[in-house]
Amino acid sequence: MAMKAIVKSVISGDSLLLRGNPGPQGQVPKERVLHLADIQAPRMGTASRDDEDWAFESREFLRALAVGKPVTFTSTHSLPASDDVPRDIGAAEINGVDLASELLKHGWAKLKELKRDTTEEDFRKKEIEAEARAAGKGVWNPHGPKARTTNYMMPTDSQGFITEWKGRPIDGLVEQVKDGSTLRIRLILPDGEHQFVNLALAGIRCSRVASKPGETAEQWGDEAKFFTESRLLQRYVKVHLLSLPNAAPTPFQAGASAAAPPSATIFIGTVLHPAGNVAEHLVSAGLARVVDWHAGMLASGGGMERLRAAEKVAKEKRAYLYANAAVPAAKANGTAINGHSRAFDATVVRVWSADQLSVVDRETNKERRIQLSSTRGPRVSDPKQAYWAQEAREFLRKRLIGKHVKVHVDFIRPREGEFEERECATVRYGGQNSNIAEQLIEKGLAGAVRHKRDDEDRSPDYDKLMAAEQAAAAEGRGIHSGKDVPAPKQPLNISESAHRATTFVNGFKRLGRIPAVVEYVAAGSRFKIFLPKDNQVLTLVLGGIRAPRTARNASESNEPCGPESAEFATRRYMQRDVEIEINDADKSGGFIGALYLNKTENAAVTLVKEGLATVHAYSADSLPYAKQLYDAEAEAKQAKRNIWKEYDEEAEQAVEAPKEDANGPLKTEYLDVIISDVRTKPQFAFSIQILNTEGIASLERLMREFSLHHKTVAVPAGFVPKAGDLVSAKFSDGQWYRARVRRASPVKKEAEVTFIDYGNQDTVGFKDIRPLDPKFRALPGQAQDARLSFVKLVAAESEYHDEAVDRFRALCDGRRLVANIDHREGPLVHLRLIDPTDSAVAQDAYASINADLVREGLATIDRKGCRYLSAYPAMAKKLQEAINTAKRDRAGMFEFGDVEEDD
């Protein structure tokens, strides 16, 4: 009985692989092998044996005649099945033409020796064979087959083969379909060379099929294989080899861009049939998924865009693999889920990291912090990434800061763990509408995020980002270089202390304008500045002006226009390339000077003109641009901008003088003093000498005589000092001074003494102690014990105690100061210390070192030890303001919050 089938493939010149039609639900049809009866063709070779002569030509004749066409066949004999595929011997016709006769006619097969009675049909076939032999057709050609080399194994030098043929179309014949996206192809190379290769279709992946008995194919794997087989098996195609199957580039690994192994088992490429690219058809049919990391290979010809379009079609049809996929919503320029515009024009005001920016919507003037879609920058916290993180941030800063950009919010990344909700956007800039993320990745300064397979929350240019990453990896750029670049050195903070800052002032003055970058805006007139050339940072305070303060915690309140001033300075100067001029340094280590944007814009003048700062007359008058400041302030007043919105010229004339409580316990009495000694044991204390008195003049005369006297005086025999004795003692500097013995140890032969003219203490051996001659006893000791009025340094057990003592020494030790005695406690005086060189003293009657230490978080108000505090309400208010400032600035002991003692 005659049966019908489709010729799936030709095994050799006398054998066919047949298949039926697909089932009603697309089921894969069954197959069977048909060996043409009574004829024999040359056998095709394998990896272990060569082709027989004329085998390829014989099979090629039958392939061209039969593959993909319907065939009518009869089975005369059944053979044992092979791998569950039935095998038959029989005859086959295509369009009424007997295939065996056609093969004999063209000389591509020979008749077998018959072991049965000869029939009329047998005689006819013998005549046909005889005619072909006489004509020298096919295998009867007396000249023999053309020379041909067939390599059944993959090329040994895989990289060399790819390098030679990449980008060049190669004719090929699909010999096997392993699964929907993996083929075995015979490449027809020049000079008669045939090279077999395994090829994965670029840009897609189909479900796997069972490769051995007992395995189960992945869902839709068999259907994908049949789809490809029915279209490509044993068809000629154009092959474009693209790459070896290297893993997707992995940043910060030395092997990320290393050469591939010399021998590979598969190549990646495209296969083009006259009907089109089978990969695109597989995707649109829903039988393949797009492989993101192949984007780089397909970028140049637009292949990835066509695959994405096919993917969209499959999702809309919900075909096969995409049966449960959500149809991608059109991301129009409508409203994002946070109520803001999805697409908007903006100005970049801050670069947070390699993948985060802050922009200001030009229409609403609202600031929005955004993440670059599908982009992951290197992290500063990782030592291996720190260098590239800084390079990436600098790349973004130079290209975007202060620039007009177009922002499109692609999706909202929800809050997850410690990460807040973030708008993820594509940022384009310049006349070419360049995607900054693509440029960043192309330079090897960031990587593309690997999204989950069905994750639609991704950049619309995701394939371009992947292509850019692969280009960077191929060239070994940036994070793909495999080099261990050390983390950049932390810049030296030259504003760490007043002493350090002072050493730089003269040098900066000589330099004039210095190129710099604004790292941070702390307030309207206070900036953190980075000097790239010297890798230094400093605090810059704009001279000649005062900007209103802003609250830094809930317990404080903003000064009028404080937030506006800080916001204006941030948006205008943050991370900009600027020039600075230094005039002086303040007592906290800040540098006082000017900041210039674009070489001409003076930041101080701009702030004053906007009504966001006022002119500080005392410091402004000495500046070369003082007139500009006063003119700018007059303009701001006239226009009633910001600070001056309720400006009243008459009110300006009223000057409020500070008032002090008239009921203070002691009359104000300013003394010139010098701190002669600072000690910390058994507790913090210091001693002073009151200057410009007869006692100091007498002491100077006494010390001259004292020095001469001790050049000749020897130790009296048997002299043992006792506690309370007035003595002469040699200090560590080798000089003799008057002292009082506090305690003595005859066993150790040493005594603890206090030097009565300076207040310092020491332990001195008996050999360096003499009885005090009566002629040196008349002058009272000139050192007076003292403590700070109203305040006390942080406790000795505090980690900030040493810093507080060092700061007090830096401000006071050995310096001429002005002191006011606020209280007497026996011989101990409570002093308010004032630095006469501090310009703030002229403006504020209550400015003092006491308040400065509180403001720096190194001292607290001593309510228990200074019961008289309530008698100085104005001073109490000043100190409370200093405490609030320290808390706000997280200064000193308030670094980690409010830790003030509850007195």
Per the structure block, which two tokens stand in for 56?
């390829």
Look at residues 93, 27, 42, 475 and name the one whose alpha carbon lies nearest to residue 249.
475
- Sign of the C-alpha dihedral computed for residues 478, 479, 483 and 485 taken in this order: positive
**pLDDT at residue 148 is higher than 90:** no
CB 256 within 8 A of CB 472: no
Please state, in angstroms and rounded to a whole number, the distance separating the CA atoms of residues 475 and 512.
Answer: 43
The more confident residue out of 545 and 336 is 545
Per the structure block, which two tokens stand in for 317?
């049809």
Task: State phi, psi for 489 to the nearest 5 degrees.
Answer: -70, 140
**pLDDT at residue 254 is higher than 60:** no
Residue 44 one-letter amino acid: M
pLDDT, residue 256, reads: 42
CB 783 within 8 A of CB 689: yes
Distance of CA 248 to the CA centre of its chain: 20
Task: State phi, psi for 100 to the nearest 5 degrees.
Answer: -65, -40
Per the structure block, which two tokens stand in for 835?
């630095």
Q: Convert the pLDDT of each residue in 352-380 to its tens digit.
A: 999 999 999 998 889 999 999 999 999 98
Omega into 190 within 30° of 0, i.e. cis?
Answer: no
**pLDDT at residue 541 is higher than 90:** yes
pLDDT, residue 651, reads: 53
Distance of CA 706 to the CA centre of its chain: 69
pLDDT, residue 258, reads: 47
Look at residues 526, 567, 568, 516 and name the one whose alpha carbon lies nearest to residue 546.
526
Look at residues 853, 792, 791, 866 and name the one whose alpha carbon lies nearest to residue 823.
866
Please state, in angstroms and rounded to a whole number, the distance separating the CA atoms of residues 201 and 271.
Answer: 7
pLDDT, residue 208, reads: 93
Mean pLDDT, rounded, for 659-673: 62
**pLDDT at residue 733 is higher than 60:** yes
Kind and range of the H or E run holding 128: helix 120-135
Please state, in angstroms and rounded to a whole number, the distance separating the CA atoms of residues 11 and 16.
Answer: 6
Q: Convert the pLDDT of each residue in 563-593 to its tens digit.
A: 999 999 999 999 999 999 999 988 889 999 9
Mean pLDDT, rounded, for 654-660: 41
